[in-house]
Amino acid sequence: MAKGKTVEIYNNKARAGTWLISKGFERDHFKVMRLIQKYEERFLRLENKRLSKSLIIRRVPAKKAGRPIDEYMLNEQQTIFLGTLFRNTDKVLDFKENLAKEFVKQRTWITNSIMQRENPDWQNVRRDGKLVYRQKTDVIKTFVEYATEQGSVNAKMYYTNLAKMENSALFFFNQKFKNMREVLTIKQLMQVSTADDVIEKALLEGIDQELHYKECYQLAKSRIIAFAEIIGKSPVLSIEIKKEENESLRI
C-alpha cells in the first residue's frame, strides 16, 4: 500500500494523484494513465457538471536520479470510478478504504474552513493581524531604504524574501495561496502576528545598531527560527473557497 497521504487539497479541491493511486492499486503508473486516457470521456464527465475539455495534470518532481513525470489529479468521483476498473485484493481493498476516509477528512477540512471565516472571533483576530502586518510593512520600507543606502541593488526583494522566510519557518503547505493568511486558523493568525512583531523589532534593532543590511536580515531570520522552534511548525490545511462552492458544500 502507498505510504503517506494520497488525498490532498489541490487547486481548492480534494484530489488524489495517479502516481500514489497506482502504488495503492498495485498497478504500473503508465498503465493507469493509459487506462484513464482510454475512458477519458467518462472521467471528463465526472470532473464537474459541465463537460471539461481536459483532465487535471500535475508534474511530479524527479525522484533521485529519475525524471519528472506527469500524473492526473482525480477528484473523488473519478477516483471511485477508477477503482472499479481494478480487481480487488486485500491490499487494494485496504487502500480503497483508506482513500474513502481521506476524502471524507478533506471534505471536513473544507467545511471547517468555510465556517472558520464566518466566525466573528476569526474575523476579529484577522482584522487585528492586518494592523500588525501594516506596521511590519512600514518597518520593512525603512529597512529597504537603509539597505539601498548601503549599496543593495535589489533591496525591494526583501518584502518577498521576509514573507517567504516567515511562512517557511512557521508552516507546512503544499499549495500556493493568493493570500495565505486568509486560510490560517485563529491560533495560526495569532502566531503569525507575533512573528510579524519579531521581524519588525529585529530589523529596527539592526538599524539602530548600524549593522550591515544582510546582518539585519539574518538577525530577523534567526529570531523567527527560534520562535518557530518554540511554537512548532503547523500545517496549512484550510483552502480558499469560491462563493458558489460554499453554497454547494452546505447542502
* pLDDT tens digit sequence for 108-126: 777 777 777 788 999 999 9
> Is the pLDDT score of 41 beyond 70?
yes
> Is the pLDDT score of 4 beyond 80?
no
* Cα–Cα distance, 88 to 173 (Å, whole number): 34
The pLDDT of residue 49 is 61
The pLDDT of residue 242 is 43
> Is the pLDDT score of 222 beyond 50?
yes
Shared domain check, 149 and 96: no
Shared domain check, 148 and 67: no
Q: What are residue 13's phi and psi, to 5 degrees?
A: -135, 155
Q: What is the pTM of this model?
A: 0.59
The residue type found at 216 is C
Question: Which residue range is the domain that position 58 belongs to?
Answer: 7-107
- Residue where a domain stops, chosen among 84, 107, 130: 107
Shared domain check, 211 and 175: yes
Span of 115-129, 157-171, 192-206 with lowest mean pLDDT: 115-129
C-alpha cell recorded at residue 37: 486516457
> Is the pLDDT score of 30 beyond 90?
yes
The pLDDT of residue 2 is 36
Q: Give 8 or 158, the one with higher predicted confidence.
A: 158
Shared domain check, 166 and 136: yes
> Is the pLDDT score of 251 beyond 80?
no
- Report, as an integer, the average pLDDT of 32-47: 92
Per-residue three-class SS string for the chain: CCCCCCEEEECCEEEEEHHHHHHHCCCCHHHHHHHHHHCHHHHHHCCCCCCCCCCCEEEECCCCCCCCEEEEEECHHHHHHHHHCCCCCHHHHHHHHHHHHHHHHHHHHHHHHHHHHCCHHHHHHHHHHHHHHHHHHHHHHHHHHHHHHCCCCCHHHHHHHHHHHHHHHHEECCCCCCCHHHHCCHHHHHHHHHHHHHHHHHHHHHHHCCCCHHHHHHHHHHHHHHHHHHHCCEECCCCCCCHHHHHHHHC
Shared domain check, 131 and 229: yes
**What is the average pLDDT value for the chain, to the nearest integer?**
86
Question: Shortest CA distance to 4 belongs to which of 26, 22, 20?
Answer: 20
* Cα–Cα distance, 135 to 199 (Å, whole number): 11
> Is the pLDDT score of 249 beyond 50?
no
Shared domain check, 239 and 143: yes
> Is the pLDDT score of 175 beyond 50?
yes
Shared domain check, 129 and 223: yes
Question: Shortest CA distance to 230 belongs to which of 208, 184, 198?
Answer: 198
Cα-based torsion angle of the residue sequence 149, 154, 157, 162 in order, rounded to the nearest 10 degrees: -60
Shared domain check, 237 and 123: yes
Span of 26-40, 114-128, 133-147, 170-184 with lowest mean pLDDT: 170-184
Shared domain check, 70 and 152: no
> What is the per-residue pLDDT across 129-140, written as a single tens digit (0 to 9) for each?
999 999 999 999
State percent of the chain over pLDDT 70: 88
User: 179 falls in which pLDDT band (50, 70, 90)?
Assistant: confident
* Cα–Cα distance, 141 to 159 (Å, whole number): 8
Shared domain check, 227 and 124: yes
Mean pLDDT is highest, among 2-6, 60-64, 208-212, for 208-212
C-alpha cell recorded at residue 4: 503517506
Q: 10: which strand partners? A: 13
Domain count, the chain: 2
